[in-house]
Amino acid sequence: MIFLLFTMTLTYNRQKKKNYLTKIEPFIIMKMMSGLCDQMKYYLIGEEIKNLGFKLKYDLSWYDEYPVKDGTNARNFQLIDLFPQLEFEIASKEEAALYRKKFFFNGENLSNQWHISEKIKSPLYINATFGDAWALCYEAQSAIKDQEKYKNCFQLDESVLNQKNLEMLKKIRSKECAVGVHVRRGDMSESDENSYFKVPELNYFVNSINIMKKKFPNSYFFFFSDDPNYVEEIIFPKFETNLNGEIVNINDTKNCFMDFFLLCECKHQIRSQGTMGEFSYILNKNPNKILIAPKNCRIDLHIKPDITT
């Protein structure tokens, strides 16, 4: 009797899942992961897939699973916090689990061959790597390298800022020459000496600041960093009292998208490794903006820095 009940229950559950699978509207689920700038890339890839006529949802489960030891290197989903006007549909946990199991796509089996757009079929679950998404949609290769697409898609609106950040925004705009300096350390500070993600050395920041000071004597530097102590204790002393600037230290990891907003509002940028300095430069509306970057810097969008040091 117990065995019969177990068999009936198992059969019922399988039939229930099968019925659900046949009733659902076919769509594509793409897993989103990593920080804000990568979220912007994924969104543009998703828009290209939607332009091909597919319904698309995003799986955000990575942000529940991402391990955070001390909170300093946290990755939160903040795309909609910064750009609430975007159309964005989130897959339910049940949908994501089902699609991941039944319709999982892994671009690794494509070797170096690109899938053409006509081969995309739904239902489909796209794994959380850009290579997989590119392989599915040839158009995505150019989309996420197109600066104009970022400018058109991601429109900044100061209504997303809280009072402290609005006050800082007012201060940035009041300066004749506000220079945003992104000093990323955190998860990159322990990178290998020859790593692609090697943190720029102290001399890079010192030289870059001096270059800006020479070009624009009225420069005022706003520092954005996940390691503000490094800026205060290591960078600042190199200039004694001869540095007009401050550390913007009003946001935690839950609202660091506001740091990105403020960095975009600076007239010029000194970038670090990572994409925050690069992407903020793209959305910077100053027609005469200048970007300084390390010589070995990772470049995601083929942006040629005005100055390297």
Question: What would the pLDDT profile of 127-186 be if each residue is shown by its tens digit?
Answer: 756 555 555 555 566 666 778 888 999 999 999 999 999 999 999 999 999 999 999 887
pLDDT digits (tens, 9 = 90+) for 264-299: 999 999 998 778 888 999 999 999 999 998 887 665
At position 133, the amino acid (one-letter code) is A
> In the prediction, which pLDDT does 111 show?
40
> In the prediction, which pLDDT does 51 show?
85
> In the prediction, which pLDDT does 165 show?
98
> In the prediction, which pLDDT does 131 show?
54
> In the prediction, which pLDDT does 121 show?
73
Residue 219 confidence (pLDDT) above 70: yes
- Band (pLDDT 50/70/90 cuts) for residue 5 is very low
| Distance, CA of 224 to CA of 121 (rounded, Å) | 43
pLDDT digits (tens, 9 = 90+) for 43-52: 988 888 888 8
Closest to 182 measured CA to CA, from 79, 259, 94, 80: 259
> In the prediction, which pLDDT does 25 show?
67
Range with the lowest mean pLDDT among 7-16, 33-42, 120-129, 195-204?
A: 7-16
- Band (pLDDT 50/70/90 cuts) for residue 113 is very low
> In the prediction, which pLDDT does 96 show?
92
What is the Cβ-side half-sphere exposure of residue 132, based on CA atoms within 13 angstroms? Answer: 17
β partners of residue 291: 269
> In the prediction, which pLDDT does 59 show?
95
- Band (pLDDT 50/70/90 cuts) for residue 240 is confident
Q: Judging by DSSP bridges, how do beta strands 177-183 and 268-270 pair with one another? A: parallel
Residue 249 confidence (pLDDT) above 90: yes
Residues contacting 278, CB < 8 A, separation 6+? 37, 271, 291, 293, 299, 300, 301, 303
Range with the lowest mean pLDDT among 34-38, 119-123, 168-172?
A: 119-123
Mean per-residue pLDDT of the chain? 80
Residue 258 confidence (pLDDT) above 90: yes
> In the prediction, which pLDDT does 200 show?
86
Residue 253 confidence (pLDDT) above 80: yes
> In the prediction, which pLDDT does 24 show?
59
With pLDDT > 70 as the criterion, what percentage of the chain qualifies? 71
Range with the lowest mean pLDDT among 17-21, 82-86, 238-242, 302-306?
A: 17-21
> In the prediction, which pLDDT does 13 show?
52
| Distance, CA of 237 to CA of 1 (rounded, Å) | 80
With pLDDT > 90 as the criterion, what percentage of the chain qualifies? 46
